[in-house]
Chain A
Amino acid sequence: MAENTLALEAEHLRKVYRRGREEIVAVDDISLQVKKGEFISFIGPSGSGKSTLINLIGCLDNATSGSMRVGGEEVLSNGRGLSEAALTRIRRRVFGYIFQRFYLVPTLTLYENIVMPFAFFQKPGGAADPMEIIRFLDLEKRLKHRPGELSGGEMQRVAIARALVNKPEILLADEPTGNLDSHLGQEIGGILRTLNEKEGVTVLLVTHNPLMAALAQRTITLHDGRFV
């Protein structure tokens, strides 16, 4: 496969934790290629290694061994990773993150939470217009509200908007509907799907929910840190 069509390529990723004398293999020899514009869901029981894998892919953690390239840049070579500063530079350029919890800053308004990434970094010539995202996510009526005044669905939409303002190439969503009811979960799922189909954003989704997983073009099941 031509390299410029790949958003991400991982080979023999392995992550081992130590708990006392015990070694826990969270991710075991996983190789993966993600094409640009692809929507992949990762599904599996608790402890299967889904979140650990997505953390490795998202440069939030270093693998014990293996190699990985993100956007054509080598971030891991035979278990040797980049420095924290180098990983931050890749994170801010390539990834957007959505988590189960929303992690909004309670003292900032909805708008301020959405544009907060710009306080740290604004992709030169590549950042999105926040108001466009706000309209797309139907949040324009609540711009001056603080997180405490928003519903769970609205808070997750704010978190999605925040993840999108720097126009990420890859959107990582780790159980984004875990704290929402099924109706709101479907709504968030629909947003992810639209972002992928209409905006061409690569989406990697971790979920327990088979209905959510079914939104993706490809579903990968994990068990004991391995693809099944």
Chain B
Amino acid sequence: MKKISIYQIAAKNLLRKRTRSALTLVGIGLSAWVLASLLGFNRGYDSALKKDIDNMGFQVLLTAKGCPYEAATLMLKGGTGLRYMDETVVADILSQSEVESVTPMLMQAVFDPERGDSGAIDAYLGIDPATYPQMKSFLKFKQGGWFKDPDAHVAVLGYEAAELEQREVGDKLLIPDKNIELTVVGILERSGTQDDGTIFVPIRMLQKEFGQQGKLTAVGIKVERKADTAALENRLYELPDVQVVSMAQVKNTIMSLVATAKVMVLSIAVIAILISMLGVINTILMSVLERTQEIGIMKSMGAMPADVFRMIWTETIILCLLGGTLGLAMAFSLAKVTDLLIRRLLPYTPTGSLILISPGLMITTFTVVLGIGLISGVYPAWRAARVRPLESIRSEGD
């Protein structure tokens, strides 16, 4: 004998007012989408930012005091604003037990009157071919490769620098004002970092040509995997006339800037969830009120208050589970669109994927949506459970 269960009755009840059920379902789906995207954004943004910072190749940057952010200094003061450290600092850094490797760097800038309408600053980054390529092993070449000789008059161009200079491997490049000719030996692929706009040259050649022998503007420090970076930073601060820039600090600064945007998005998610909760309560309560007589008849047939409560609660949970599935499907399939929207809204975004929808996140979203269903269903289910059989038949006349 085929029977019907309370759960089947509940599921079929949702088909009674299809449009109303569908609209409620879409409402839950939208709030689940917002929630999943927000959680995915929180995780994705952190992960992409970490990846960007890891792609810098070093966790700590040492610069001469007064010049913590060399790119900014160049923009404001040109080459004159640069400050230098003595090359001997490299040995001091290497003596620290937490340090895995270091790479010295010298930044020089030259005003190019031929660039644009009123000229612009060309920046050259002198690097050590023995250490820098190892530290930045993720950089890929579009053409050519790294130079090997630290004294050679050669250059490697970042992707955008090559586009701007319109140079290919084998072409010549002239440093304005100095009349020094460099041969392009490599062009990098796009990395999405500041390396794209950099002209890399051998450090010793740059020191010699610009009269800065034995001078550096920065030292990149790669820290041992399990080392205490904070302790290392504290000891580096004791070195004379240097500034320590921790990538963890940079990350924290960016994260605190983005925190405001996250709070805004979180507020929108909370409002969306509250609206969908009210939608669910309204739909189920309306359905209960419309079915008062039917529920009364069920009770006259022997349905206990707990049976009726379970039936109505099941309806709410089915709506929320379907809505949650819809929302997760939307979050998953529209992650790229959401990514683009967020990139338009935020002042700075890392290069990787901003929305990461993981299985754990899907479970969290589902749990929250199910929680909404459980809470939203309580009042309508309680109202239904209290219906007395007599209420349904009082209108029968006498």
Contact = CB atoms under 8 A, between A and B. Distances in A.
Contacts of B305: 84-85
Contact of A115 (B3, B297, B389, B396): B3
Contacts of A121: 301-303
A136 interface: no
Contacts of B16: 106-107
A200 interface: no
A9 interface: no
Interface centre among B9, B16, B298, B398 (most CB of A within 10 A): B398
B interface secondary structure, majority: helix
Contacts, number: 107
Given A105-B294, A120-B6, A51 B303 contact: no
Nearest to B14: A107
Interface string B283-311: 00000000001100111111111010000
A60 B300 contact: yes
B398 A52 contact: yes
Contact of A92 (B2, B8, B302): B302
B15 interface: yes
Nearest to B296: A103
A85 B301 contact: no
Interface string B250-262: 0000000000000
B48 to A, nearest CB: 48
A101 interface: yes
**Range class of the A interface residue count:** 35 or more
Interface string A171-212: 000110010000000000000000000000000000000000
Interface stretch (A29-37, A41-49, A64-72, A149-157): A41-49
B75 interface: no
B1 A129 contact: yes
Contacts of A119: 3-6, 8-9, 303, 307
B390 interface: yes
A11 interface: no
B18 to A, nearest CB: 10
Interface centre among A101, A105, A121 (most CB of B within 10 A): A105
Contacts of B300: 58, 60, 91, 95, 97
B374 to A, nearest CB: 22
Given A51-B398, A60-B393, A103 B297 contact: yes
Interface centre among B5, B298, B302, B390 (most CB of A within 10 A): B302
Nearest to A111: B2
Contact of B397 (A51, A106, A118): A51
Interface in A110-134: 111-112, 115-121, 129-131
B398 A118 contact: no
A208 to B, nearest CB: 9
Of the candidates B6, B13, B297, B388, the one having the most CB atoms from chain A within 10 angstroms of its own CB is B297
Contacts of A60: 300, 389-390, 393
A107 B302 contact: no
B1 A105 contact: no
B9 A105 contact: yes
9 A-B pairs with the lowest CB-CB distances in the bound complex, closest first: A92-B302, A121-B302, A120-B303, A107-B12, A103-B297, A117-B301, A51-B398, A112-B4, A61-B390
Given A51-B398, A99-B396, A117-B301, 4 more contacts: A103-B294, A107-B12, A119-B5, A130-B1
23 contacts: A26-B398, A49-B398, A51-B393, A51-B397, A55-B390, A55-B393, A60-B390, A88-B299, A92-B302, A97-B297, A107-B15, A108-B4, A112-B4, A116-B9, A117-B302, A118-B4, A119-B4, A119-B307, A120-B302, A121-B303, A174-B393, A174-B396, A175-B396
